[in-house]
Amino acid sequence: MLHDPSHKPVIPEEKEIILTQKDKDILKTLGERIAQISGDRRNEENARNWTLLNDKKSVKPMVWINEIPWHEMNINDELTLKCTHPWARNLEDTLKKTIFQWNHFPGDMVVNPYIECPLAIHSTDFGIVEDVDAAYTDQENEIYSRHFKIQIQEPEDIEKIKMPVVTHYERATQYSYDAMRDVFAGIIPVKKVGQTHIWYTPWDYLIRWWGVQEAIMDLVMRPDMVHDIYEKMVQAWMVELDQFEEQNLLSLDCNNTRVGSGGYGYTTELPGEDFNPDHVLAKNMWGCSNAQIFSTVSPEMHWEFAVEHDLKWLRRFGLTYYGCCEPLDLKVSMLRKIPNLRKISVSPWCNSEKIIQEVGTDYVMSRKPNPAIVAGNIFDEAQAEKEIREFMELTEGQCHVELIFKDISTVRHDPQRLFKWEKIAMRVAEDYAK
């Protein structure tokens, strides 16, 4: 993740990676399995169908599962890490999770015929780190309750927000690349990949520093202050994006890269006709935005204090995605003002009939079934199917839909729930294939 409001980004270590033969052998075996999976014809078919979906020529609803409680998923030691070197363990973890998902709940996932070597990019971020009191029910779960301590209270606190500085630690990148090529030689290619999709979500950050109640009250009590501070965040993101472009650190995301809070970015409309493969620009990529904290805010205020500012960012990209957990069924007319909008999030809290009526076939609907279904005392398979099927029935099989299973904070330590949920979704999706 490029940004994380909970901590300062760690500067990449520029140190040669020396692995034991045991670590190499473990990674080689995993690389062989990835190469095998990537050769499966399902990848080609899935990539084609994702492309048709995002081009608004869909032939079926597409299914993708993300934000998984991995700490609850390990069965038969399939996810148990055996490497000793920290760099190797991190790579082992990534590869094992990919293999595990392909084996047990693939949906319409696509596995690349290469191993990605991410560029070692560091951003100084925005100058503020959240200060919280945390309450845990499960120490191993990344999802927990936070009480945010207020750091933005007065107009002058705008000065706490800093302009990011982006640096590519080239030696760190090269050390990783050399180590990967050594491990996977003759097995599977290695490809350097820069910054792909960027999660642009200023409000997700601001409420951690401002406070939820405080920020919402200030929309009414101190609107000028809100405009000034939000605009400062927009400009910080823009400055950072400028540096990515200037330093040639961007990579395409019109592939099996996640876009916004939805699925893959495959499309024939990107990277565009004037694309220079040696220098990726924002206009060749997907943009996104959301304002989850505005769930109960009117369309007019949502536009004024978020989207109208966001247009500066969104217009720089070829296509865009909007939304996450906030219900948008009453705000589609507002979203139509985004000139390059292609996907709209349809959260579990939307009025399904209303948003389907409003969107029609003009955009791709990124439907998020409620993950609470796998978090209860029992997993009701019939109810899980009913919830997915009811939404699809309302579309009458005419709309462009992706079924995105996310925000899965727990399966109650029963991985089979997720496996079954995926099979249900795939069955329903097949029933609505055109």
- What pLDDT, on the 0 to 100 scale, is given for residue 211? 93
What pTM value is reported for the model? 0.96
First and final CA of the chain: distance in angstroms? 37
Assess contact for 199 and 3: CB atoms under 8 A.
yes
Residue 137 confidence (pLDDT): 74
What does each C-alpha distance from 231 to 151, 218, 234, 321, 427 come to in angstroms?
A: 17, 15, 5, 20, 45
* Beta bridge pairs of residue 132: 148
Phi, psi of 36 (to 5 degrees): -65, -45
DSSP string, 151-210: ---SGGGGGG-----EEE-HHHHHHHHHHHHHHHTTT--EEEE-B------HHHHHHHHH
10 Å Cβ neighbour count for 78?
14
**Segments forming the whole domain that contains residue 173:** 21-431
Q: What is the pLDDT of residue 24?
A: 98
How far is residue 13's CA from residue 174's CA, in Å, rounded to a whole number? 11
- Dig out the tokens for 346 from the structure: 């349809």
Closest C-alpha among 119, 273, 286, 297 to residue 223: 297
Provide the 10 A C-beta neighbour count for residue 39.
Answer: 11
Q: What are the average pLDDT values for consecutive 10-residue runs of the chain, which has 434 residues?
A: 71 95 98 98 98 98 97 97 98 98 98 98 92 74 75 96 97 98 98 96 95 96 98 97 98 98 98 96 98 96 98 98 97 97 97 98 98 97 98 97 97 98 98 94
Decide if 292 is inside a domain: yes
| Contact partners, residue 315, CB within 8 Å, separation at least 6 | 339, 340
Residue 374 maps to a domain: yes
Residue 424 is assigned to a structural domain of this protein? yes
Residue 385 inside a domain? The answer is yes
401 — phi, psi (to 5°)?
A: -130, 135
CB 4 within 8 A of CB 66: no
Predicted confidence at residue 144, as pLDDT, reads: 64
For residue 6, the model assigns a pLDDT of 65
Q: Name the domain count of the chain.
A: 1
343 contacts 262 by C-beta, under 8 angstroms:
yes
C-alpha–C-alpha distance, residues 61 and 170, integer Å: 41
392, 432 in Cβ contact below 8 A? yes
What are the structure tokens assigned to 103, written together? Answer: 């084996």
Rounded CA-CA distance 292/298 in Å is 13
Token pair belonging to 203: 């409000």
Whether 395 is in a domain gets the answer yes
The pLDDT score that the predictor gives to residue 133 is 74
Tell me which DSSP letter residue 106 carries.
-
- 9 within some domain: no
Contact 244, 195 (CB under 8 A): yes
Q: Provide the b/e sequence for 123-147 (b: ≥16 CB within 10 Å).
A: bebbebebeeeeeeeeeeeeeeeee
CATH number, domain of 327, equals 3.20.20.210
Q: Which of 193, 162, 161, 165 is nearest to 177 (CA)?
A: 193
Contact 406, 69 (CB under 8 A): no
User: What pLDDT is stored for residue 140 in this prediction?
Assistant: 72
3-state secondary structure of 320: strand
Per the document, the length of the chain is 434
- 9 alpha carbon, distance to own chain's centre: 18
* Domain assignment of residue 305, yes or no: yes
Query: Is 13 inside a domain boundary?
Result: no
